[in-house]
Amino acid sequence: MSKIHVTTTVNGDEVEFLCEPDETLLDVLRDELHLTGSKEGCASGDCGACSVMVNDRLVCSCLVLGAEADGAKVETIEGMADGENLHPLQKKFLEHAALQCGVCTPGFLVAAKALLEKNPDPTETEARYWLAGNLCRCTGYDKIIRAVLDTAAEMRGN
């Protein structure tokens, strides 16, 4: 079986890779590009730990084929901080202790960033529904939701 040659953009950088036809974007990110921030939790689209942006849409990278990334714009957790400067969401997650083991955290951050870009002033209900596809088995969800709403308030300048 011949590998597929894919040219894509990951976090603003043009990237080329070879992948098997049935290889997922998550596997490519982790194993070929060594971007291991995106995690594999369930591998069936239920847990959101592999959340990335593809062409400005929040998706589970475990449910995208690597071949589908050809010509696409991919953004991962690795592109979220600006060098050493953490994104406001990352700072607030630390401040609110909105993580324990950390496996769900990259997915939550990518999903929460997508929420705030679409809706800078979400209600708690809106935030909880938006993040319903991100599962956390450690903290429960309260600290995460508080961190997201606090970030939203700060980014709006309140």
Binders of other proteins among residues 49 to 68 (CB under 8 A) are 51, 54, 57-60, 62-65, 67-68
24 binds other proteins (CB under 8 A): yes
* Contacts by residues 5-8 (CB-CB < 8 Å, ≥ 24 positions apart): 6/66, 6/67, 6/69, 6/70, 7/70, 7/71, 8/69, 8/70, 8/71, 8/72, 8/73, 8/74
Please choose, from the candidates 113, 131, 137, the residue with its C-alpha nearest in 3D space to the C-alpha of residue 42.
137
Binders of other proteins among residues 25 to 54 (CB under 8 A) are 43-46, 48, 51, 54
Candidate segments 75-83, 92-100, 126-134, 146-154, binder of other proteins by CB under 8 A: 126-134
Q: How far is the CB of 85 from other proteins (least distance, A)?
A: 27
Contact between 52 and 109 (Cβ < 8 Å) = no
Contacting positions for other proteins (CB under 8 A): 1, 4, 21-22, 24, 43-46, 48, 51, 54, 57-60, 62-65, 67-68, 70, 111, 114-115, 129-134
